[in-house]
Amino acid sequence: MPGVGAVTAEVSYRYDGSLAGFYCCVYDSYARREIPAAISADDAEEGQISLIPERWVEVNVGRATRAREGLALKGGARSRELLEHVFLSRVERRETALLAFARRVFEEGPSILERLADPLVARLLKAEKGVLGEAHLLTGFVRFTQTDAGLVSTIGPKNFALPLIAHHFADRFSGEAFLIFDKTHGAALVHEPGKPWAIARMEPPDERPTEEETRVQALWRRFYNTIGIAERYNPVCRRTHMPMRYWPYMTETREHARAD
C-alpha cells in the first residue's frame, strides 16, 4: 500500500461501527494519503457536532479484506490480533489509536510488537489486557437461568466481550440452547444445538425462571453462603477479585448488590 507522504487532514471519518467498516477507514486513509483528524462510529455519541468536514466511509468487503490481510502480511497474525482485540475495548479515541497502530505496522513490520515501552503500543496492550481480562472473568461470572425457551443470561460488561467468549460457551455447552444478552451493547450470543453460534442485535430476552430453576437457585445460594469461612471474612479481597459491577447479574450476589 502507498504509505509515504500521508498528511493529517482536516476531515473526520464516519463509519458503521463494524470491524469491516473500520478496516475500510484504514484502506481509505492509505488510498487518499491522509490521516483523518478523527474517526467515529455511527452509533457513537461523541463527534455528533463536528467543526471539520465529515466523510462517510462505506463498507466494502473487498477493501476491508485487503486492509485486513495486508496487516497480517506486514505485521504477522499477532499484530492483527492485537488490533482486533482492542477494537472490542472502550479505550478513548479507539479508532484513531488503531489507525496510527496500523500505519506503524505497515511501516515498521512485526518489530513494533517488541516495542512494549512505546507509548502507543503500551496503551494498546493495556487496553487489550482489559478486554481479555473481562472476557476471562465472564467465562466464570455468566449465570444461566433455565426458562421454557432454554438457558438465558444477561451481562453488563464494559467491553464488547461476546465475540471472545462465544467459542468457549458453544464448545462447553454444545448440546444446549442458550442465549447471553449483553445489556451494554444491546446484542446477544445465540446458540442452538448442532448449529454454529451467532451474535446479533437484540432486545432484552424473557428471563422468567421455571419452577425447577427457582429450586436450583436456592441450592446455589445456600452453597455460596455456606462456603465462606467467618473467621477469614475479607470483603476487600472479594471485591478485588469480583468487582461489584458484576454482582447484579449473578445469582448468588444479586441480593447483596441490591442491599448495597
Partner 1 sequence: MDLLDKLAILADSAKYDVACTSSGSNRPGKPGGIGSAVSAGICHTFASDGRCVSLLKVLLGNACAYDCRYCANRRSADVPRAAFTPEELAELTISFYRRNYIEGLFLSSAVLRSPDYTMERMISVLSILRGQYRFNGYIHAKAIPGASPEAIRGLGMLADRMSVNIELPSESSLNLLAPDKSRASILRPMSLITRGTERSYLETKSLSLARTPPQAMPQRFAPAGQSTQMIIGATPETDRAIVRLASGLYHRYRLRRVFYSAYVPVSDDSALPAPNTPPPLLREHRLYQADFLMRFYGFDAEEILPEDSPSLNAYLDPKCSWALRNPERFPVDVNRAELSELLRVPGVGPKSAERIMTARRQTRLTIDDLRRLGVVLKRARYFIQTADTGRSPRISREDTVRALLDHNAGRFGFEQLSLFDTMDRGNRLPGAMDAPTLRDAVEEAVACLASAL
229 binds partner 1 (CB under 8 A): yes
Q: State how far the Cα of 144 lies from the Cα of 142, in Å rounded to an integer.
A: 7
162 binds partner 1 (CB under 8 A): no
- Cα separation values, 11 from 35, 41, 52, Å: 8, 15, 6
Q: Facing residues of 200 across strands?
A: 188
218 binds partner 1 (CB under 8 A): yes
Query: Which 90-119 residues touch partner 1, going by CB under 8 A?
Result: 111, 114-119
Question: What's the closest the beta carbon of residue 119 comes to partner 1, in angstroms?
Answer: 7
159 binds partner 1 (CB under 8 A): no
- Cα separation values, 110 from 5, 95, 158, Å: 22, 20, 30
Question: Segment near partner 1 (CB under 8 A), from 56-64, 71-79, 164-172, 183-191?
Answer: 164-172
Q: Which of 41, 71, 151, 188 binds partner 1 (CB under 8 A)?
A: 151
207 binds partner 1 (CB under 8 A): no
For partner 1 (CB under 8 A), the number of binding residues is 56
User: Which residue stretches of 32-182 are H helix?
Assistant: 61-87, 94-108, 119-141, 162-172
Question: What's the closest the beta carbon of residue 97 comes to partner 1, in angstroms?
Answer: 15
By C-beta, is 93 or 221 nearer to partner 1?
Answer: 221
By C-beta, is 30 or 144 nearer to partner 1?
Answer: 144
By C-beta, is 151 or 188 nearer to partner 1?
Answer: 151
Cell 442491599 locates to: 259
Query: Which 119-148 residues touch partner 1, going by CB under 8 A?
Result: 119, 122, 126, 136, 139-146
Are residues 35 and 96 in contact, defined by beta-carbon separation less than 8 angstroms? Answer: no
Question: What's the closest the beta carbon of residue 224 comes to partner 1, in angstroms?
Answer: 7
Query: Which 230-259 residues touch partner 1, going by CB under 8 A?
Result: 230-238, 240-242, 250-253
Are residues 59 and 16 in contact, defined by beta-carbon separation less than 8 angstroms? Answer: yes
Q: State how far the Cα of 75 lies from the Cα of 67, in Å rounded to an integer.
A: 12
Provide the edge-to-edge strand list for the sheet that holds 34-41.
34-41, 7-15, 54-56
Question: Nearest 10 degrees: CA dihedral of 238, 244, 247, 252?
Answer: 20
User: In degrees, to the nearest 5, what angle opens at C-alpha 75 toward C-alphas 73 and 79?
Assistant: 115
Residues near partner 1 (CB under 8 A): 111, 114-119, 122, 126, 136, 139-146, 151, 153, 168-169, 171-176, 216, 218-220, 222-238, 240-242, 250-253
